[in-house]
Homo-oligomer: A and B are copies of this chain.
Amino acid sequence: MVVRVSGDEGRPGLRERKKQETRIALSWAAIKLVAERGLENVRVEDIAAAAGVAPRTFNNYFSSKGEAIAARHLDRARLIAQELRRRPVSEPLWEAITSAVITQLAMGADYDDRRPDQQWQTGIRLMIGEPSLQGEMLKASAVAEEELAAAIAERTGTDIAHDLYPRLVAGAAGAAIRVAMDQWLRADPPVPVRPLVENALGLLAAGLPEPRSS
């Protein structure tokens, strides 16, 4: 029985659309459950149920629990590379990278900060503290860095296969972002993200000068 609801805006929604929705639903459900119950107390079965699919389907999308959780992180990171491509080539590289990061941060802001729950915050912190998840997060970052490197190579006219440069810049930028985010997450009187990221990337572009006085 096919019920055609008036709001069946899935018209252009190809098959791909549905797949992405399911993918996101699974990833989101995983994060939500783990944030509130802890990794140990969430089974794949639970995630699948929360996303409204069969347990077996979970593994059609992700090869592990950790991958599902890191997927959101990966998507977010990918957008930075995508945003970098939109920047005019005339713009200096580091300026462009910083802008791209800030832009994506802003987009995610009214998405994450809409959850000022104390519960949520601590849940996330516990989550990223899980050893078995840190690897997945880093792996996701690495994948994103690869795309970032491609964008940088394109922009600077370097060769991603032979030149050290693009991957190096991408890697360094990734490290800076990670450090800034880390600092941001552990700041107890919460501080704004932007200055942290700008500072980190700025220091990078300045060659990480050795501080004279503490």
Contact = CB atoms under 8 A, between A and B. Distances in A.
Interface of A: 63, 66, 92-94, 131, 134-136, 138-139, 141-142, 156-159, 164-165, 167-169, 171-172, 174-176, 178-180, 182-183, 196, 199-200, 203-208, 210-211, 214
A167 B208 CA distance: 11
A178 B142 CA distance: 11
B207 A204 contact: yes
A210 B153 CA distance: 11
A168 to B, nearest CB: 5
This chain's copy number in the assembly: 2
Given A134-B142, A164-B200, A211 B178 contact: no
Question: Interface of chain A, helix or strand or loop or mixed?
Answer: helix
Given A138-B138, A164-B203, A167-B183, 4 more contacts: A134-B142, A157-B211, A159-B214, A168-B200
Nearest to A180: B164
13 contacts: A92-B210, A138-B138, A138-B139, A138-B141, A164-B179, A165-B211, A167-B182, A167-B183, A168-B208, A171-B172, A172-B204, A206-B207, A207-B207
